């Protein structure tokens, strides 16, 4: 490796570590204080970097919040699409519709466990009238529909979708069941355990959209 290549690699790694530190600091502050009470200066102070560095890396607070959410959703900052992550691949490789939907319930449980505390603060801000957070809510709802529709489409292609059930309506059902608001109501408000939530979700998926077993 040439000196220039080494220096470029070192700078890229330093930039990634700085970005990771800023994202972690932002996530902690958003959960502790809520988005309205967190500034880019606050994040910089918690991360131990300059405010200029935060702005240069993310541009706006809205972008920073979305990046915090994306990394929390995935569980790390590796550039691996959700569909290629093990918990989602397990859905597509499972043997039958019940197994696929049970695997999807497990994936939803893991994702909700990671994102729940953060989303509770962000969605409260969206309901409070913050325009950027309202846009964030629309974006994450749309992304959740992409995931739900992909699973339903896979069920239909493999003969696992309930006969006579419109795929669009099935996607709406799955999209609603995995909504963060449902997780918050059952786990945070009603005190369900994560195991209870996952088991309920699997049964609800199967009862609503799975093909009847022979």
pLDDT digits (tens, 9 = 90+) for 115-126: 999 999 999 999
How far apart are alpha carbons 146 and 11 in whole angstroms? 35
Share of the chain above pLDDT 70, in %: 96
Mean pLDDT of the 167-172 span: 98
Which sequence spans correspond to the domains of the chain? 1-66, 80-214
Mean pLDDT of the 77-94 span: 94
How far apart are alpha carbons 107 and 185 in whole angstroms? 19
Q: Which two tokens stand for residue 124?
A: 């409260």
How far apart are alpha carbons 100 and 113 in whole angstroms? 20
- CA 124 from chain centre, in angstroms, equals 17
Q: Give the helix ranges, DSSP H, for the chain.
A: 3-33, 40-47, 51-58, 61-74, 86-93, 97-127, 131-157, 167-177, 180-183, 194-209
Q: How do residues 128-166 score in pLDDT, each as one tens digit?
A: 889 999 999 999 999 999 999 999 999 999 999 999 999
Cα separation values, 35 from 22, 26, 97, 155, 158, Å = 15, 9, 40, 38, 43
Task: Answer with the residue of higher pLDDT: 10 or 155.
Answer: 155
161 forms beta bridges with: 210
How far apart are alpha carbons 149 and 145 in whole angstroms? 6
Residue (of 90, 80, 97, 70) closest to 153 by Cα position: 97
Q: Which two tokens stand for residue 5?
A: 């290549």
The CATH class for the domain spanning 1-66 reads mainly alpha
Name the 3-class secondary structure at 81.
coil
Asked if residue 66 lies in contact with residue 126, where contact means CB atoms within 8 angstroms, the answer is no
3-state SS of 18-79 is HHHHHHHHHHHHHHHHCHHHCCHHHHHHHHCCCHHHHHHHHCCHHHHHHHHHHHHHHCCCCC
The CATH class for the domain spanning 80-214 reads mainly alpha
């Amino acid at each position: 490796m040439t000196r220039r290549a080494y220096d470029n690699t070192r700078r890229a790694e330093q930039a990634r570590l700085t970005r990771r530190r800023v994202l972690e600091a932002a996530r902690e502050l958003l959960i502790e204080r809520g988005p309205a009470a967190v500034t880019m200066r606050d994040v910089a102070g918690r991360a131990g970097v300059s405010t200029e560095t935060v702005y240069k890396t993310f541009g706006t607070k809205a972008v920073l919040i979305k990046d915090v959410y994306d990394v929390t959703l995935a569980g790390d900052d590796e550039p691996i699409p959700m569909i290629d992550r093990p918990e989602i691949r397990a859905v597509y490789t499972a043997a039958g519709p019940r197994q696929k939907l049970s695997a999807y319930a497990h994936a939803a449980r893991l994702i909700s466990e990671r994102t729940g505390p953060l989303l509770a603060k962000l969605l409260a801000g969206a309901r409070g009238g913050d325009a950027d957070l309202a846009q964030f809510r629309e974006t994450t709802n749309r992304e959740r529909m992409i995931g739900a529709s992909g699973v339903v489409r896979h069920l239909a292609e493999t003969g696992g979708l309930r006969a006579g059930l419109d795929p669009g309506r099935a996607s709406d059902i799955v999209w609603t069941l995995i909504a963060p608001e449902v997780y918050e109501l059952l786990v945070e408000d009603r005190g369900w355990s994560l195991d209870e939530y996952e088991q309920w979700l699997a049964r609800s998926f199967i009862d609503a959209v799975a093909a009847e077993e022979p």
